[in-house]
Structure 1
């Protein structure tokens, strides 16, 4: 199963995001069982940090609950191996903190990540699935 990156989740949760319609289509496919994905536990931490920094914590509980009840989703825990790999990817490919964790997680799974972010294209062995192709 491919890893679903937070940029797709945020696009789904924000109706004003330019990629909202594409993300909405992916989430409908999840609901209908047409696709299965994995989500890194790090995604939940990133979501909490962003909502807190944007002073949107009042919306956090609702959005976390919406993500938590999604069918056809498997949550993947952060492991020491993934943490080590994320540091390597961050230093080698100049990825952001969270992107390095998602890349390392995807490489540890089936090497596929669903994301709008082209930064993943420079990571050898990682296949980025463009959300508009799903």
Structure 2
């Protein structure tokens, strides 16, 4: 049985937003559910919680990139809209990891993989990725692992 708690939570939040007539939140939630549906149709799978977290993480990253581009172009109203969507998306993500928790996970992954140089970075990241999904930016974690292995 596929674990769909995340999707159920998002669907319930959509109903609440509809009843509250919160158009901005409802719009962002519909974007999330549309992305889930696209994956389910394209890949003929049911989106489980792990995949859902990956999708939400990717959506946040895309919006951060858009905010940077809009800000550089002087389109603050569009950047604000993207930030509002990020806030809604992040409300469904688990609590972010602290720096201390992240350092502990990196240390454990390095010890588990036995990596002693930058060549072992792929093994370390393979161990870390499922643990940090939706709780930390993979790019920043990658930089920290790289610094740790050098």
Calculate the TM-score normalised by the size of structure 2: 0.29
Larger Rg: 2
